[in-house]
Amino acid sequence: MSFYIGREASKLWKRICAETTTEINLLAENWKYLLAGLVCQYIHGLAARGVHYLHRPGPTLQDVGFFLLPELGQDKAYISETLFAMIFISFVSWTFHPFILKNRKIYTVLIWCRVLAFLVGSQVLRIITFYSTQLPGPNYHCREGSKLATLPRPDSVLEVLLINFPRGVVYGCGDLIFSSHMIFTLVFVLTYQKYGTRRSLKQLGWLLAVVQSLLIVASRKHYTVDVVVAWYTVNLVVFFIDKKLPELPDRSIAAATLLPLSTKDKDSRTKEENHKLLNGNSGDPVDWRQRTQVNGKIMEDGNTLHADSAMNGA
């Protein structure tokens, strides 16, 4: 039993090392895209912090979702954030599963380049939208009478740049249309829909996205319009950006060039190439196709039928 555990642990360690080497190589090639995406996340947070200075509390707007969904109350507002945290952590864990599991289909660095592109595209539209019109926030801390509904004039530029993280993010007001929580949720679900392997998890992801939408409205974090706009905007953004980005490489094909070979693999590949050379075939996969010689000319498989017809006088 201990021998089996030791052997499996050794395999897992080798898999982690090989995957780490591969991801480091990909990171060296794509670090600029990842850095740009992370910088844009900060800019998005900075914009949300800035619009809080412009927010003016007022009467809560009439909303169909508020009529249909009972208010959870301030003491139960954590339910929405808890579900979002579960979705976020689950997706991040899935993007790193190639380091451990055998049935790996994605590269972690490449999938995050793609995810960040989707997030940035959606967040740019979000910033433009909530700066165009500031609505009175429906959240508890954004209503009239709350000290957090408005921010005093900052004493320094540094106070704005630090965005009072994480309190400034949790208790923000004014960045309503459209929901940032739904941007992340839908981008994660759409990404897993395309690159995930378990159908049941895909269906669960869409179900959680719907539940998340209802909880956001029920906890009065957003108006219903914020969630509705997020649903069709994020889907359209992902659809168009996904068409512009290069497709992720197939791991079954790219593994030979990205993953390091062991000594045993190198020896077997060398023997295979020598065998092909002795039989008159080159190491180029293009030359592996069967050929036919007719009248001193070498014909490929696609021309064999035509050559046979010519010999028979047809």
Q: Is residue 210 part of a domain?
A: yes
Q: Is residue 80 part of a domain?
A: yes
Amino acid identity at 61: L
Quote the mean pLDDT of the chain: 81
pLDDT surpassing 50 at residue 283 = no
Q: Is residue 281 part of a domain?
A: no
Give the integer Cα–Cα distance in Å for 84 and 272.
52
State what percent of residues in the chain have pLDDT above 90.
54
* 57: containing domain: 1-254
Lookup result for tokens 């790193």: 96
CB 224 within 8 A of CB 177: no
Residue 181 falls in the annotated catalytic set: yes
* Rounded mean pLDDT, 149-165: 80
Q: What is the pTM of this model?
A: 0.77
Q: Is residue 282 part of a domain?
A: no
Least reliable range by pLDDT among 25-29, 240-244, 253-257: 253-257
Q: Is residue 304 part of a domain?
A: no
Residue 222 falls in the annotated catalytic set: yes
User: What pLDDT score was predicted for residue 275?
Assistant: 52
- Among 222, 265, 267, 287, the active-site one is 222
* Rounded mean pLDDT, 249-274: 52
DSSP assignment, residue 294? E
Q: Is residue 155 part of a domain?
A: yes
User: What pLDDT score was predicted for residue 157?
Assistant: 80
Q: Is residue 208 part of a domain?
A: yes
Question: What are 260's two structure tokens?
Answer: 């390091």
- Among 181, 242, 265, 306, the active-site one is 181
CB 170 within 8 A of CB 51: no
Total domain count, the chain: 1
User: What pLDDT score was predicted for residue 290?
Assistant: 41
Q: Is residue 167 part of a domain?
A: yes
Q: What is the 3-state secondary structure (H, E, C) of 190-201?
A: HHHHHHCCCHHH
User: What pLDDT score was predicted for residue 159?
Assistant: 77
The sign of the CA dihedral 11, 13, 16, 18 is negative
- What is the band of 303 on the pLDDT scale with cuts at 50, 70, 90? very low
- Among 226, 242, 284, 306, the active-site one is 226
